[in-house]
Structure 1
């Protein structure tokens, strides 16, 4: 997994998705959740359409196979549209700490679906240990109230459903073996997510007329539309193609870390010592699953050999 490209994709995706939770706190105070998601992807669709018009040809955008259609469906309807609808509605019923823990079951669920649908992505015992360690780290960072975790009403099942759809969709994308690039699939997928979200918002009876849009809500929409609604999904789906669904979804262990740091920097929230310990535990779990970078691993092996030779002489 550790190459410069995959490392950059992983870092950008984690940073931008992590910022979503900070922006959502500001935007959801003024805009209903499903409408918030819909407008987010309206903005993202416009940004991606402009990118496609200047960077991709019609041939690069044209679906050619059943796998292309399945990949676009999994991208737009399942991973982007349905997951975000469930996630944002579920967040209305629980604290951000509970939401972080429940949605961070995503990396645990991904190898389960991968074992059923993808023979090449089965985890080792060390990999499952790393997954479990990462989840422990998320719990330490989020530090949710146990009563809220167990008594979240509709919030907990909705967030769990979001984790399921996100994990299943990522594996479906990998299995589809689409000929379209991840960029083209994202350009098709974000408008699909916008249409789905508008439909769900209308069905839920969310108000559209008379909403107030103060500057903080507009800024939140710009962030989640452009940065975590267009750019982040371009990098995330490219990461799935590069590293596989199981390892790509490890980034969702780091989203609560980014969210916690963002809340500290931008909202004046505190970071406890327990959260710092959680950061370290998450990173340790990540290394167990993905392995050390080749240059680091090689340096450690050389160091051990030199020590052994030195002690032998």
Structure 2
């Protein structure tokens, strides 16, 4: 059941977050970027606070320690607030494909922060191989042009990269805080923090509500990033982080470019090349390598006697 739950959380987070790149690119035609993010968090906060109020006891809702506060701030400031603010600002000038691959560097950055912050959370050799294979697959899917990647819009790609840095650092800090709050309750407290942060940044940067162009497409984009890629996605994503830790949990950002590409085909009329299909297969191989490690560990935990006998036979 543990493996099935993790797989369900992984798939849900990948699908819901993957659509963010398409919806964000569409919505930026109607909203100033930071105000777009702030309104997204307003909607997600209302939805998730209503959900936890209806499903959790008062005791479960109340932060009771410094660790709880640190977990909330790490989530609200870094993983949700700054990561999305940098992403949406950068996507004004960067295509969804390039933004997706830059943001998919998150799983590579996470072990770096984990080595510094966490004493017992390390990536194994097999995990490193699987991660690198997956990253190659991401590159094949998005197919970035090296000339453009280092071209005149390098500054904005750097802004998207800062979002990946903020997200990776925040997930490691959440693990370090080891809060007693459930991931859903912690996220419900964190979203108002993210909303205040981005509303403040929007105001300071001179963005105004009058600049919004309200159309049906704008409402759909805002609704998606607020409810589906917001409240629902965060329940799945942070639940996954609590289950498997930041190093393996952030592998969802390898699947996100796949979802973003398929979303572009279905909604924006984009095409899939043969190289993209090869990239999908490569990412699947990377996931298979990583999954084999998790499955082997779970089998060893559940059936230690059988594993010991098999090991002894191999030695003989």
Deviation, 1:257, is 0.0
Matched, 1:277 2:261: no
Residue of structure 1 in register with 2:304 after alignment: none
Q: Which residue of 2 aligns with 1:142?
A: 142
Distance 1:188 1:129 in 2: 36
Which residue does 2:30 correspond to in 1?
30
CA displacement 1:115-165 (0-9 Å, x = unmatched) = 222233211222212211111111111111222200223212111111111
Distance 2:246 2:293 in 1: 19
User: Would you say 1:186 and 2:204 are equivalent positions?
Assistant: no
Identify the range of structure 1 (283-292 vs 190-199) with the bigger mean alpha-carbon deviation: 283-292
Preserved contact between residue 2 and residue 293 of structure 1 (Cα < 8 Å): no
2:98 is aligned with 1:103: no
TM value normalised by structure 1: 0.91
User: Within the alignment, does 1:209 sit opposite 2:210 as a pair?
Assistant: yes
Distance 1:136 1:14 in 2: 18
Whether contact under 8 Å (1:12, 1:232) holds in the other structure is yes
Cα distance in 2, alignment partners of residues 53 and 177 from structure 1: 22
Three-state SS of the structure 2 residue aligned to 1:291 is helix
Distance in 2, Cα, partners of 1:231 & 1:202? 27
Deviation at 1:2, TM superposition (A): 6.7
1:210 CA drift (Å): 4.7
Correspondence for 2:305 = none
- Note the alpha carbon deviations across 1:254-302, whole angstroms, 9 max, x for none: 000001111111221101111111111111112223326749x98xxxx
Judged with a 3 Å threshold, the aligned counterparts in structure 2 of structure 1 residues 38 and 212 are, in CA distance, closer, same or farther, namely same
Match of 1:262 in 2: 263
Change (3 A) 1:153 1:293: closer
CA apart distance, 1:249? 0.3
Match of 1:199 in 2: 200
Mapped to 2, the partners of 1:68 and 1:2 lie a distance apart of 25
Q: Is the 8 A contact 2:32 2:212 kept in 1?
A: no
**Is the Cα–Cα contact under 8 Å of residues 117 and 171 in structure 1 kept in the other structure?**
yes
Work out whether residues 95 and 148 of structure 1, in 8 Å CA contact, stay in contact via their aligned partners in 2. Answer: no
**Contact between 1:93 and 1:154, CA under 8 Å: does it hold in 2?**
no
- Is this contact kept in 2: 1:2–1:294, CA < 8 A? no
> How far is 1:12 from its partner?
0.2
Structure 2, unpaired ranges of 5+: 300-316
Alpha-carbon RMSD across the aligned residues, in angstroms, is 1.7
SS at match of 2:210: coil
| 2:308 aligned partner | none
Alpha carbons 1:16, 1:232 under 8 Å: kept = yes
Quick one: distance in 2 between partners of 1:259 and 1:57?
A: 37
Q: Please, which runs of 5 or more residues in structure 1 have no aligned partner? A: 299-313
Structure 2 equivalent of residue 94 of structure 1:
94
Q: 1:174 to 1:274 in 2, by over 3 A?
A: same
- Tell me the TM-score normalized by structure 2: 0.90
Take 1:90 and 1:112, find their aligned partners in 2: how far apart are those partners?
Answer: 24
The superposition leaves residues 176-206 of structure 1 with CA deviations (integer Å, 9 ceiling, x where unpaired) of: 1101111110100111111111111111111
Whether the 8 Å contact between 1:41 and 1:194 is mirrored in structure 2 is yes
For 2:167 and 2:211, the matched residues in 1 are separated by 33
Matches within 5 A, 1:92-171: 92-151=92-151, 152-171=153-172
Aligned position for 1:301: none
Q: Which residue of structure 2 aligns with residue 307 of structure 1?
A: none
Matched, 1:50 2:50: yes
